[in-house]
Structure 1
Amino acid sequence: MNYADAGVSLARADEAMVGVKKSVRTTFNQGVLGDVGNFGGLFTLNHLGMKDPVLVSSVDGVGTKLKVDIEMGTHELPGQDIVNHCCDDILVQGARPLFFLDYVATGRLEPGVMDKLVAGMAKACRENDLVLIGGETAEMPGFYGPGDYDISGTIVGVVERENIIDGKKIKPGTIILGLPSTGLHTNGYSLARKVLFDVAGYKVDTMVDGMDKSIGEALATPHRSYYPSLIDLCNKKKIQGLAHITGSGYQGNIPRILPDNVDVIIDRTTWDPPMIFKLIQQAGSVEKDEMYSTFNMGMGMLIFIDPADKAEVVAHLEAKGEKWTQIGEVVAGTKQVKFRD
């Protein structure tokens, strides 16, 4: 017997890597030392000219959203999801992204699928000034079913020590601006899929009133990155805190950046959640607070600022083409998130 008899084809892996290498090289910049295929990726900070650089890292996955992409064949989207999600996770501390590493595991390595996955990552990397410096592809027959795969990513960014955003400046009187999401982003899909497909009986191609996309298209819309719109404000120290609304929603993510002596009040009357969230809530009879502890409900990034800086911050956001909504405020308290309806 040989490796191919066990279901792992090295020839097929080599074929898949041809397109992958082309996509990866499109993300390279002057920080990269070496080429694709080395045992480790080399990256220098010398070209950044920073005084006291601090590295910021994060790792995450896409989760069961992949089930939707696999069924729809939209394999170029999960790569965008994972890169943008990771960029947002380090942005909340004021970091700009430097380089990204991916992990793709599947039962059978399909060249066409791998090309699209990595092309999606490369696209998002270019949009975020980020290098796709390395990765790992694992072919695991018997572990993943036919057509299934999983992806995860690790990001490393950098921030000047004096520019780190840690939430310590948040105080009573701070106001909160919300920036819109592009949908569910990459969280809550186990509940969303259970409700929409198993309970409501929708299919990925089902069209419903009030939406210009099918159910599948709405669920597969990639997680967006807020880095291009916010990094300049971070560097100008106009932001007291940032909250990326991911898994565990508002109740789970906002307290991560709060001092112990404040509460946050979110006014849920200030925006109208997109239709996809309403469908999930109605079809699953999901309690309102449960929705806000699971999903972003249409607001993917919250910006905590001093009211005195609002005009400058808003002008910057609008110049970037960003829509924004003032959705809350900070008051004295004990690190709680409260809602106003």
Structure 2
Amino acid sequence: MSNAYERAGVNIAAGDEVVQNLKKKMSQQDGHVIGQLGGFAGMYEMDDSQLDTPVLVAGSDGVGTKVLLASAADKVDMIGQDLIAMCVNDLLAQGALPLFFLDYMALAEVKPEQIDVILNRILTVCQDNGIVLLGGETAEMPGVYQPGHFDLAGFAVGLASKRQLLNPANVQAGDILLGLPASGLHSNGFSLVRKILFEDNEFEFSDHVDGINGELIDELLTPTKLYVNLMQPLLQQRLIAGAAHITGGGLLENVPRMLPADLQAEIDTSTWKHQPIFDLLVNKGELSVEDRYETFNMGLGMVLAIHTNQLAEVTSLLGDEEYYQIGQVSKLVGEQQVKLLGENDD
């Protein structure tokens, strides 16, 4: 049967090789894990030591069309970090710390070396952030995907005490807004990125752009930042009133998700460093204020709402970590829950 399957374009042996290689690099990561990689499903045992009134928080996401650039440039070594970050940062925004992660990779054909690079990065990032890589799936689907194309999706589960969950009811008028810097574009808006840079303006991957170190493609493929280690002590000490992961929809759509309906966020866009890649996209794409802040993170990966009486403790715990005080929460005036101060269409 395997020979017939191979004639249909599916290489079972290559897929098995990938799994075996990954097994060799995985030790028992966590005492809660039951079984080993390669079973039909991953198992994670809970125990009484894991908080009172525990709540499991789950999320899934993908890397989007950023994978097209990674594939075309043959630079897939960091794309696994994007996958984990997009899932795990969502958990953090709910107040949960990640327990385990599973990946799903679908492609036209198994290329063991390429897959090995991607999965090894996933394993390394999980280990660096105290997350169990519980399992995953690699699906070879010729005919569904064009030759050389692939897609990545992920699924993460986190844990929080019920009383530690972040929800809009926690946020109050007068709360201070802190912005945590993004590492770059992260993994959103890449359909527009590709249109602006490579269709409308005919940039090349190897181009050098003023203000951007290295080749343009390396800037575009800079991996998404994870905020696990930074936010963990703040969540454990209940110092965050609300959090917004600035993903698809930018500041304009994501910040309101952490606010009650009667409050707004006043954000001064001059308070953080605007990275050159965003200036390039805004100028070449002739993007309006709404377009840019509804598509890209514009330099912020996470926004936190902090009660004023806890601000000193928060900033002390952040220490040398880079952050910006970007505004405050106030009573809603009008219909828009995000007020951008200092931004005008050119």
Interval of TM-score (by shorter of Structure 1 and Structure 2) = over 0.9
Query: For the residues of structure 2 that align with 1:169 and 1:13, how far apart are their CA atoms?
Result: 47
Q: Which residue of 1 aligns with 2:65?
A: 64
Give, in whole Å, the separation in 1 of the partners of 2:292 and 2:308.
29
Q: Which consecutive unaligned segments of at least 5 residues does structure 1 have?
A: none
Aligned residue type for 2:18: A
Q: Distance in 1 between matches of 2:14 and 2:273?
A: 48
In 1, Cα distance between equivalents of 2:326 and 2:24 = 43
Answering whether residue 139 of structure 2 is matched by residue 160 of structure 1, we say no
The reply to whether residue 2 of structure 1 matches residue 1 of structure 2 is: no
CA RMSD in angstroms, aligned pairs only: 1.4
Aligned counterpart, 1:243: 244
What per-residue deviation string (whole Å, max 9, x for no partner) do you get for residues 244-299 of structure 1? 00001111111111111111111112123100011011111111221000000001
Write the letter of the residue equivalent to 1:120. Answer: R
Asked if structure 2 preserves the Cα contact closer than 8 Å seen for 1:90 and 1:97, the reply is: yes
Matched, 1:328 2:330: no
Per the alignment, residue 198 of structure 1 pairs with 199
Aligned to 1:304: 305
Corresponding letter in the other structure for 2:328: E
What is the Cα deviation at residue 29 of structure 1? 1.1
Quote the offset at 1:94 in angstroms: 1.3
Q: CA deviation at 1:7?
A: 0.5
**Residue of structure 2 equivalent to 1:52:** 53
Q: CA deviation at 1:212?
A: 0.9
TM-score in terms of structure 2 length = 0.94
Aligned to 1:132: 133
2:108 is aligned with 1:107: yes
CA distance in 1, matches of 2:260, 2:15: 50
The TM-score normalised by the length of structure 1 is: 0.96
Against the structure 1 CA distance between its residues 228 and 134, is the aligned structure 2 distance closer, same or farther, given a 3 Å change threshold? same
The verdict on how the C-alpha distance between 1:99 and 1:48 changes in structure 2, with shifts beyond 3 A counting, is farther
Deviations, residues 292-326 of structure 1 (Å, cap 9, x unaligned): 000000010001001221111111112xx311111
The whole-number CA distance in structure 2 between the counterparts of 1:77 and 1:285 is: 30
Amino acid at match of 1:85: M
AA aligned opposite 1:116: V
- Is the CA contact 1:29–1:131 (under 8 Å) kept in the aligned structure 2? yes
Does 1:178 pair with 2:179?
yes
User: Structure 1 counterpart of 2:65, which letter?
Assistant: T
1:72 shift after superposition: 2.2
**2:290 paired residue number:** 289
Between stretches 126-135 and 56-65, larger displacement belongs to 126-135
**Alignment partners' CA distance in 2, 1:186 and 1:168:** 29
Distance in 2 separating the partners of 1:100 and 1:340: 38
Q: Distance in 2 between matches of 1:67 and 1:296?
A: 20
Q: Please tell me whether the aligned partners of residues 62 and 186 of structure 1 are also in contact (alpha carbons under 8 angstroms).
A: yes
Is the 1:262–1:335 Cα contact (8 Å) retained in structure 2? no
Query: SS where residue 170 of structure 2 aligns?
Result: coil
- 2:233 matched to 1:232? yes
- Matches of 1:271 and 1:47, distance apart in 2: 43
CA contact (8 A) 2:247 2:254 kept: yes
2:19/2:38 contact within 8 Å kept: no
The residue type paired with residue 251 of structure 2 is: Y
Match of 1:141 in 2: 142
| Helix, strand or coil at the partner of 1:151 | strand
Give SS of 1:326's match. strand
Residues 1:31 and 2:25 aligned together: no
| Partner-residue secondary structure (3-state), 1:232 | helix
Cα shift at 1:27: 6.9
Aligned counterpart, 1:189: 190
Distance in structure 2 (CA, Å) of the matches to 1:78 and 1:117: 7
Q: Cα 1:284–1:100, aligned 2, differ >3 Å: closer, same or farther?
A: same
Alignment check: 8 A CA contact 1:258 1:335 kept: no
Report if aligned partners of 2:184, 2:299 keep a CA contact under 8 Å in 1. Answer: yes
Instruction: Give me the whole-angstrom Cα distance separating, in 1, the residues matched to 2:49 and 2:336.
Output: 37
Shift of 1:17: 2.1
Match of 1:257 in 2: 258
Taking every aligned residue pair, what percent have the same amino acid on both sides? 38
Equivalent residues of 1:84, 1:124 under 8 A apart: no
SS for the counterpart of 1:2 is: helix
Matching residue's letter, 1:3: Y
Residue aligning to 2:268:
267
The number of equivalent residue pairs is 338
Shift of 1:232: 1.1
Q: What is the CA-CA distance between 1:99 and the residue it aligns to?
A: 0.9
CA distance in 2, matches of 1:27, 1:141: 34
